Amino acid sequence: MIKFLFKGLIRDKSRSRLPIIVVAVGVMLTVFLHAYIVGFMGDTIETNARFSTGHVKVMTRSYSDNMQQIPNDLAITGISSLLNDLDREFPGFEWSPRIQFGGLVDAPDETGETKSQGPALGFGMDLLSGGSREPERLNLQKSLVRGKLPDSPGEILLSETFSRKLKVNLGERVTLISSTMFGGMAIHNFVIAGTLLFGQEGLDRGTIIADIEDVRMALDMKDATGEILGFFRDGFYNDDLALSEADRFNASYSSVSDEFAPIMKSLSRQGGMGTYVNLAKGWSTYISLIFIFAMSLVLWNAGLLGGLRRYGEVGIRLAMGEEKGHVYRSMIIESVMIGIIGSVFGTILGLSFAWLVQEYGINISGMMQGSAMLMPEVIRARITPPDFYIGFLPGIAATVIGTMLSGIGIYKRQTARLFKELEA
Amino acid sequence: MENSQIIRIESLVKRFPMGKGEFTALNGIKLSLGQGEFAGLIGPSGSGKTTLLNIIGSLDVPTEGSVTVLGRSIGALSAGEAARLRKESLGFIFQSYNLFAVHTVYENVEFPLLLLKYSATERKKMVTDALDWVGLNDKIKSKPPQLSGGECQRVAIARAMVKKPSLVLADEPTANLDAANSHNILKTMVSLNRELKTSFLFATHDDKVISYLRRKIFLLDGRVDNDVIISN
Ligand SMILES: Nc1ncnc2c1ncn2[C@@H]1O[C@H](COP(=O)(O)OP(=O)(O)OP(=O)(O)O)[C@@H](O)[C@H]1O
Ligand SMILES: [Mg+2]
């Protein structure tokens, strides 16, 4: 019987072609959009992770409570042993101490008088110890506009925009004016090694990047750091794992009474990123529902038209003693077959497009001007395992729902009435 | 046993709702049909032939009176029981063949056997036999659009006969056929009636069909006007 139905479907193009195309298109869009959104949201998450939040971040409790102010007076001290502990107990992460700091950058003229000045947001990170992955993580080499990455102490990177604003050149000296960890005045000289273009207005305005040892010296932060960022060794952010690892850390290290005790926070527990992560998680559900709804409507109508053409067939099957419920069920079986065929085609197409956008990306830098959030410049889709099956849910659900709705007419109609139509 | 009754109808009335009132299509039919008959309902258009055939075929129900087919009372059957009666014991032939257009001749004839859950080997033998009866074994792979009208109707006969039903109901089976094909079809049915003892009940106003009937039941305005048995 299944074979009989299947042959009918394959041979009767008008019965199968339109629904298969509708399903394939819907499934293609579902799969593609899913990969695209996972890629886009994932990239945004990763960009934020790399520049500011890590996949998890360790800091002191009070630093974490006042994170926006980057309060280095609340920094973690004794970090050599803490880093050892982290490497031993949390080997799934790569640990990178970072110092974020604010300050004023002052460019002197030949006589030593101030030529220009500007507020800066600084990052101290490991640039000089061989084997540091920080330059690669922030894509510094590729972001260089002029010069080179620092290769000896006392060298600094400026954003290209900032260097133009200060009218300074490579090899020139600039002075950082900031405050030490203990609240005193900090003044430190750096030599400009290179300039960077991030493509993000927020970062391009006034960013400076220096080796973390220089920053420690400048801010008097011996064996201390503002934050320790942890990155999953095997790639992308995994919220469930990040949350459980943070809980595990906090259970043994954190303490409610000691405001300088370290605390670990997942990316999703830092600032607005939580909403974003949840949005990213919920998206596949929303997309599927939207497409189930839209495709069902189309298939319902297609089914009504197709059903009219099939009154004759239904009538004769009833005359031969097939029960109405059986006819109805067999139409639903047909719709499942169509759903599967359409979903297979749609998934293949969706994956192909997603793969193209994963490999080549879509440049949206033009659209992103003025955005304060750290967003990637080039959007890339990211194909994840769910892309291979999520299309089948809307694909099959839509055909079945569409057929059920359009078939109700046949189900409700009296056998005798179907017969009248058969004679006509 | 020779003349055991397969249809018994008493005081059958069938009314259809029409506008505000009702239309009486059958008005007090009394009729019985024995096993192996080759009979026809004859009458002008609108006399109630199709209506009566549909009720006998359990596709519709009586408004009043009793209709018993193969021992089962049509008005009292559930939808499932009616379907079962049709599946096991009745064959239908229509004016407009009603074949499955995308399925082959073989698959069309095989369909009733799928419903009856015959095994593949049984099906193959039965379909081959049925196509032999109508002389179409050389066309098993053809599809209806490739066949002539006469061939289509022969496929429909094979499909109705393949399960060897007790009763075949044929509503204007020759209306779309030319004279030669009509005679051909009718001769086939006459011989099946003889060999398999299948009873045939026609609804027709075609003289060619009427000339083959061994019993002529004349309907007029929903009543049996005359009932003539031809002895030979
Ligand atoms: N479902 C229905 N609703 C209303 N009236 C009906 C219905 N079915 C049949 N009739 C009416 O009942 C009468 C008998 O119809 P029926 O189809 O049985 O005639 P018939 O003898 O088969 O005619 P024909 O030779 O044209 O096929 C007709 O007047 C028809 O209009
Ligand atoms: Mg009629």
Atom number in ligand 1 closest to CA A417: 1
Q: Do A75 and A218 belong to one domain?
A: yes
Q: Do A79 and A191 belong to one domain?
A: yes
Domain end marker among A181, A214, A236: A236
Alpha-carbon distances of B206 from B95, B151, B178, B231, rounded to whole Å: 12, 19, 11, 21
Burial class (CB in 10 A: 0-12, 13-18, 19+), B218: middle
Ligand 1 pocket, residue B222 CB under 6 Å: no
Q: How near does any CA of chain B get to the CA of A417, in Å?
A: 9
Nearest alpha carbon, ligand 1 atom 5: B16
Domain end marker among A212, A236, A260: A236
Q: How near does any CA of chain B get to the CA of A16, in Å?
A: 12
Q: Is the pLDDT of residue A110 over 50?
A: yes
Query: CB B96 to CB A318 under 8 A?
Result: no
Residues of B in contact with A318 (CB under 8 A): 59, 83, 86
A251 within a domain of the structure (yes/no): no
Q: What is the pLDDT of residue A210?
A: 97
More confident residue, B107 or A306: B107
Nearest CB neighbour to A8, from listed B94, B103, B159: B103
HSE at residue B65, side-chain half, CA atoms within 13 A, is 22
Q: Is the pLDDT of residue A343 over 70?
A: yes
Nearest CB neighbour to B103, from listed A7, A319, A323: A7
Contact A168, A212 (CB under 8 A): no
What spacing in Å lies between the alpha carbon of B11 and ligand 2's midpoint? 21
Instruction: Give the residue-averaged pLDDT of A198-227.
Output: 92
Q: What is the pLDDT of residue A370?
A: 46
The pair of structure tokens assigned to B223 is 């009543």
Using one digit for the tens of pLDDT, what is the confidence trace for B134-190? Answer: 999 999 999 999 999 999 999 999 999 999 999 999 999 998 889 998 999 999 999
pLDDT confidence tier of residue A372, bands split at 50, 70 and 90? very low
More confident residue, B169 or A274: B169
Using one digit for the tens of pLDDT, what is the confidence trace for B4-28? Answer: 899 999 999 999 998 889 999 999 9
Nearest CB neighbour to B60, from listed A320, A322, A416: A416
- Alpha helix ranges (H) inside chain B: 49-56, 79-89, 105-115, 120-133, 149-161, 179-196, 207-212
pLDDT confidence tier of residue A399, bands split at 50, 70 and 90? confident
What spacing in Å lies between the alpha carbon of B48 and ligand 1's midpoint? 6
More confident residue, B106 or A278: B106
Q: Do A315 and A173 belong to one domain?
A: no
Using one digit for the tens of pLDDT, what is the confidence trace for B191-205? Answer: 999 999 999 999 999
Q: What is the pLDDT of residue A365?
A: 64
| CA–CA gap between residue A290 and residue A34 (Å, rounded) | 12
A134 within a domain of the structure (yes/no): yes
Ligand at minimal distance from the CA of B29 is 1
* DSSP-derived 3-state class of residue A56: strand
Question: Hey, which residues does B40 pair with through a beta bridge?
Answer: B202, B216
Q: What is the pLDDT of residue B204?
A: 95
Q: What is the pLDDT of residue B2?
A: 44
Using one digit for the tens of pLDDT, what is the confidence trace for A116-141? Answer: 999 999 999 999 998 899 999 998 98
The enclosing domain of B160 has a CATH number of: 3.40.50.300
Contact A107, A174 (CB under 8 A): yes
In angstroms and rounded to an integer, the radius of gyration of the C-alpha atoms of chain A is: 31
Ligand 1 pocket, residue B22 CB under 6 Å: no
Q: Is the pLDDT of residue A222 over 90?
A: yes
Q: Do A369 and A413 belong to one domain?
A: yes
Q: What is the pLDDT of residue A70?
A: 87
Using one digit for the tens of pLDDT, what is the confidence trace for A14-60? Answer: 778 888 998 899 899 889 988 888 888 888 888 889 989 999 999 99
Burial class (CB in 10 A: 0-12, 13-18, 19+), A39: buried
Q: Is the pLDDT of residue B116 over 90?
A: yes
Q: List b or e across A75-114, with b for residues whose CB sees 16 or more CB atoms inside 10 angstroms.
A: bbeebeebbebbeeebeebbbbbbbbbebebbbbeeeeee
Q: Do A230 and A307 belong to one domain?
A: no
Instruction: Give the residue-averaged pLDDT of B94-117.
Output: 93
Residues of B in contact with A313 (CB under 8 A): 100
Nearest CB neighbour to A12, from listed B96, B102, B171: B102
pLDDT confidence tier of residue A422, bands split at 50, 70 and 90? low
Pocket test residue of B13, B22, B24, B47 for ligand 1, highest count of atoms within 8 A of CB: B47
Nearest alpha carbon, ligand 1 atom 18: B48
Q: Do A68 and A197 belong to one domain?
A: yes
Ligand 1 pocket, residue B48 CB under 6 Å: yes
Q: Do A153 and A10 belong to one domain?
A: no
Alpha-carbon distances of A223 from A78, A259, A282, rounded to whole Å: 5, 18, 42
Contact A172, A191 (CB under 8 A): yes
Q: Do A127 and A20 belong to one domain?
A: no
What spacing in Å lies between the alpha carbon of B224 and ligand 2's midpoint? 16
Domains in chain B: how many in total?
A: 1
Query: CB A419 to CB B107 under 8 A?
Result: no
Ligand 1 pocket, residue B25 CB under 6 Å: yes
- Domain containing B137 equals 5-229
The pair of structure tokens assigned to A319 is 């005359």
Cβ partners under 8 Å of residue A137, min gap 6 = A50, A96, A231
Ligand 1 pocket, residue B193 CB under 6 Å: no
pLDDT confidence tier of residue A277, bands split at 50, 70 and 90? confident
**B-chain residue closest to A325, CA distance:** B80
Instruction: Give the residue-averaged pLDDT of B213-226.
Output: 96
Q: What is the pLDDT of residue A366?
A: 62
Mutating which of A5, A12, A310, A316 best tests the B interface, going by the most B Cβ atoms within 10 A?
A: A316
Percent of chain A with pLDDT over 70: 93
Q: Do A225 and A315 belong to one domain?
A: no
Q: What is the pLDDT of residue B190?
A: 96
What spacing in Å lies between the alpha carbon of B228 and ligand 2's midpoint? 21
ipTM over 0.95: no
A241 within a domain of the structure (yes/no): no
- Domain containing A338 equals 2-47+276-423
CA B145 remoteness from chain centre:
23
Using one digit for the tens of pLDDT, what is the confidence trace for B23-79? Answer: 999 999 999 999 999 999 999 999 999 999 999 999 999 999 999 999 999 999 998
Average model confidence (pLDDT) for chain A? 87
Query: CB B57 to CB A319 under 8 A?
Result: yes
Domains in chain A: how many in total?
A: 2
Instruction: Give the residue-averaged pLDDT of A330-348.
Output: 93
- In three state form, how does the secondary structure of A123-149 look? EEECCCCCCCCHHHHCCHHHHEEEECC
Pocket test residue of B14, B16, B41, B63 for ligand 1, highest count of atoms within 8 A of CB: B16
Q: What is the pLDDT of residue A124?
A: 96
Atom number in ligand 1 closest to CA B52: 18
Identify the DSSP state of B231: P
A249 within a domain of the structure (yes/no): no
Least confident of A235-249, A274-288, B212-226: A274-288
Domain end marker among A216, A236, A256: A236
Contact A55, A93 (CB under 8 A): yes
Q: Do A16 and A147 belong to one domain?
A: no
Q: What is the pLDDT of residue A6?
A: 87
| CA–CA gap between residue B3 and residue B34 (Å, rounded) | 5
Instruction: Give the residue-averaged pLDDT of A264-286.
Output: 84
Instruction: Give the residue-averaged pLDDT of A189-213.
Output: 91
Nearest to A174 by CA among A122, A124, A114, A218: A114
Q: Is the pLDDT of residue A98 over 70?
A: yes
Atom number in ligand 1 closest to CA B205: 25
Q: What is the pLDDT of residue A292?
A: 80
Nearest CB neighbour to A8, from listed B90, B95, B102: B102
Query: Could you tell me the pTM of the whole model?
Result: 0.74
| DSSP H or E run through B171 | strand B167-171
* DSSP-derived 3-state class of residue A105: strand
Nearest to B70 by CA among B161, B166, B162: B166
Cβ partners under 8 Å of residue A152, min gap 6 = A128
Q: What is the pLDDT of residue A167?
A: 93
Q: Is the pLDDT of residue A221 over 90?
A: yes
Query: CB A321 to CB B112 under 8 A?
Result: yes
Q: Do A88 and A153 belong to one domain?
A: yes
Q: What is the pLDDT of residue A367?
A: 60
Q: What is the pLDDT of residue A375?
A: 57
Residue type, B95: Q
| CA–CA gap between residue B204 and residue B172 (Å, rounded) | 5
Residues of A in contact with B90 (CB under 8 A): 321
* Other Cβ atoms closer than 10 A to A11: 15
Instruction: Give the residue-averaged pLDDT of B75-94.
Output: 94
Query: CB A415 to CB B60 under 8 A?
Result: yes
Q: Do A346 and A391 belong to one domain?
A: yes
